[in-house]
């Protein structure tokens, strides 16, 4: 298909490039909870960018911090060198978890954070003399980014099937979604028993072969699947019993999305490793991180003191601009009361979303904190087509939602106001009436 010359050179990610370039959707600026399009329209940001701009756009403190850092220290190597803001940020981040973790390892994205955590888990067992623990367990419908590690433990078929045989020795637990629970408000009360499938997988492979289990506390990319009450605790218990590391991938759920600092706080379950990205810098500079429990970190610190303890890192691990942005982001979250706002608006959000029950095409609504999924019935033999049309129509009507298959996902900036939440859901309902 012909595409216009000036748009053709960029091969866009996770995009149907040909139709996009026929009819592009372009943002040129953003402030607060709105984007401005190239043709001068304001779009209400129902997705915090791509689940990352938790404090809203163009927060002055963050903008200033990035500019200052670029002027003062544009880049500093972090292999056998350091710079103060990377240490200061690590301390602040550890503090933000209530010291449940003791160290932070920096990456530049969620995908890199996931691959880093998986490598840490493998190496952790090996340094402790349990090198037979090489298996990694993920979950159906899981999304852990697009590195080879992440797609191997991930469970979204389209993200895997094109790319060969992937990592060896990976197995998957079943996902937690049950259509019989459609329109559950918040956390489903029943269904925790599905966690016992992990026990079956452990029995099959033997615990001595398993390094780690990785899950998103709330599955985001696959269409917002909220875990049943007690499910995560059961995973925790099974992992503890068998010496398996539990990794929570909090790339979406971290930094206030559920109204608590992290999903682990919301559910009251502590993993051994936790991956984050996105909201760590309010989306302003690419950054990810892995939080590590002291026991895991300390296991690495046993060899000769001149030896590198973990053969891993990225050129841009702890980049000064990202550290500056993250420090200013933590300050901003405090200053504007972002997490508290999310917590206090969660019920409003739930009501507004569930008011879509009974609207055309809607077969399920799921929500927790300030994240929601509205699932539409798929068109016969055209999965995803109705969802995509709804997404495009919503954009024409001035709201940005995210589409995954036939589920529309909403994850507005945590600083959104009640009336804006109501507007988002009202317009979405009107849009659904206009599509076949
Ligand atoms: N883990 C989880 C749980 C994620 O949600 C990643 C890892 C990877 O992060 P990076 O920074 O490498 O993209 C993610 C990212 C969507 C969507 O709307 C979700 C993500 C990214 C882009 C789009 O479904 N999640
Ligand atoms: N490829 C080559 C040839 C490199 O030299 C490097 C880093 O030095 C990489 C890939 C990895 O890049 P990054 O550290 O930005 O992930």
Task: Report whether pLDDT(325) > 80.
Answer: yes
316 Cα to the center of ligand 2, angstroms: 10
Task: Pick the closest to residue 250 from 260, 237, 240, 264 (CA basis).
Answer: 264
Task: Pick the closest to residue 249 from 173, 119, 371, 143 (CA basis).
Answer: 143
- Could you read off the pLDDT of 133-181 as tens digits, one per residue? 999 999 999 999 999 999 999 999 999 999 999 999 999 999 999 999 9
Best residue among 315, 317, 318, 319 to mutate for probing ligand 2's pocket (most ligand atoms within 8 Å of CB) is 315
Rounded mean pLDDT, 310-324: 98
Rounded mean pLDDT, 309-315: 98
- Could you read off the pLDDT of 331-358 as tens digits, one per residue? 999 999 999 999 999 999 999 999 999 9
315 lines ligand 2 (CB under 6 A): yes
- Could you read off the pLDDT of 44-61 as tens digits, one per residue? 999 999 999 999 999 999
257 lines ligand 1 (CB under 6 A): no
- Could you read off the pLDDT of 258-297 as tens digits, one per residue? 999 999 999 999 999 999 999 999 999 999 999 999 999 9
- 249, 212 Cβ separation under 8 angstroms: no
Task: Report whether pLDDT(227) > 90.
Answer: yes
C-alpha 16/C-alpha 14 separation (Å) is 7
Rounded mean pLDDT, 353-365: 97
144 lines ligand 1 (CB under 6 A): yes
CATH of domain 63-335: 3.40.640.10
**Prediction pTM value:** 0.96
Report the chain's mean pLDDT, rounded to a whole number.
97
Q: Closest ligand 1 atom, CA of 110? A: 9
C-alpha 88/C-alpha 86 separation (Å) is 6
143 lines ligand 1 (CB under 6 A): yes
- Could you read off the pLDDT of 102-143 as tens digits, one per residue? 999 999 999 999 999 999 999 999 999 999 999 999 999 999
Report which protein residue has its CA nearest ligand 1's atom 21: 50
11 Cα to the center of ligand 1, angstroms: 19
- Count of Cβ atoms closer than 10 Å to residue 425 Cβ: 25
CATH of domain 5-58+337-434: 3.90.1150.10
315 Cα to the center of ligand 2, angstroms: 7
- Could you read off the pLDDT of 411-431 as tens digits, one per residue? 999 999 999 999 999 999 999
**How much is the pLDDT for 135?**
98
Q: Where are the domains of the chain?
A: 5-58+337-434, 63-335
Task: Report whether pLDDT(4) > 90.
Answer: no
Q: Same fold for the domain at 5-58+337-434 and the one at 63-335?
A: no
Task: Give the ligand whose atoms come closest to the C-alpha of residue 402.
Answer: 1
404 lines ligand 1 (CB under 6 A): yes
Rounded mean pLDDT, 290-308: 97
Q: Parallel, antiparallel, or unpaired for β 407-410 and 371-376?
A: antiparallel
C-alpha 299/C-alpha 293 separation (Å) is 10
Task: Give the ligand whose atoms come closest to the C-alpha of residue 400.
Answer: 1
411 Cα to the center of ligand 1, angstroms: 13
**How much is the pLDDT for 5?**
60
116 Cα to the center of ligand 2, angstroms: 15
Q: Closest ligand 1 atom, CA of 220? A: 5
Report which protein residue has its CA nearest ligand 1's atom 24: 221
- Could you read off the pLDDT of 18-29 as tens digits, one per residue? 999 999 999 999
- Confidence band for 1, pLDDT divided at 50, 70 and 90: very low
**How much is the pLDDT for 3?**
46
């Amino acid at each position: 298909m012909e595409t216009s010359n000036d748009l053709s050179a960029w091969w866009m990610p996770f995009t149907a490039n040909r139709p996009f370039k026929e009819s592009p959707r372009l943002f040129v600026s953003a402030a607060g909870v709105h984007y401005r399009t190239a043709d001068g329209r304001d779009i209400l940001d129902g997705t915090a960018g791509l689940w990352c701009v938790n404090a809203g756009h163009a927060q002055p403190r963050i903008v200033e911090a990035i500019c200052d850092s670029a002027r003062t220290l544009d880049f500093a190597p972090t292999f056998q060198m350091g710079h103060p803001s990377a240490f200061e940020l690590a301390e602040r981040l550890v503090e933000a978890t209530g010291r449940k973790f003791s160290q932070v390892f920096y990456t530049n994205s969620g995908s890199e954070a996931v691959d880093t955590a998986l490598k840490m888990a493998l190496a952790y067992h090996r340094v402790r003399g349990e090198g037979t623990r090489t298996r990694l367990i993920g979950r159906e419908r899981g999304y852990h980014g697009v590195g080879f590690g992440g797609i191997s433990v991930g469970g979204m078929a389209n993200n895997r099937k094109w790319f060969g045989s992937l990592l060896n020795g990976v197995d998957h637990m079943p996902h937690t979604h049950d259509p019989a629970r459609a329109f559950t408000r918040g956390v489903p009360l029943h269904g925790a028993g599905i966690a016992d499938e992990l026990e079956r997988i452990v029995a099959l492979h033997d615990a001595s072969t398993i390094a780690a289990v990785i899950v998103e506390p709330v599955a985001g990319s696959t269409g917002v699947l909220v875990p049943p009450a007690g499910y995560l605790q059961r995973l925790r218990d099974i992992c503890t019993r068998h010496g398996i590391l539990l990794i929570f991938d909090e790339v979406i759920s971290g930094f206030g999305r559920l109204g608590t600092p992290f999903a682990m706080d919301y559910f009251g379950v502590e993993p051994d490793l936790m991956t984050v990205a996105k909201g760590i810098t309010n989306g302003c500079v690419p950054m990810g991180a892995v939080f590590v429990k002291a026991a895991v970190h300390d296991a690495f610190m046993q060899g000769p003191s001149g030896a590198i303890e973990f053969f891993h890192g990225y050129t841009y691990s702890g980049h000064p601009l990202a550290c500056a942005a993250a420090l200013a982001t933590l300050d901003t979250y405090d200053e504007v009361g972002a997490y508290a706002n999310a917590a206090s608006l969660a019920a409003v959000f739930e009501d507004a979303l569930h008011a879509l029950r009974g609207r055309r095409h809607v077969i399920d609504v799921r929500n927790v904190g300030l994240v929601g999924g509205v699932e539409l019935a798929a068109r016969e033999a055209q999965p995803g087509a109705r969802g995509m049309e709804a997404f495009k129509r919503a954009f024409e009507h001035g709201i940005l939602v995210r589409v995954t298959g036939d589920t529309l996902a909403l994850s507005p900036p945590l600083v959104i106001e009640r009336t804006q939440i109501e507007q988002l859901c009202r317009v979405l309902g009107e849009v659904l009436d206009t599509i076949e």
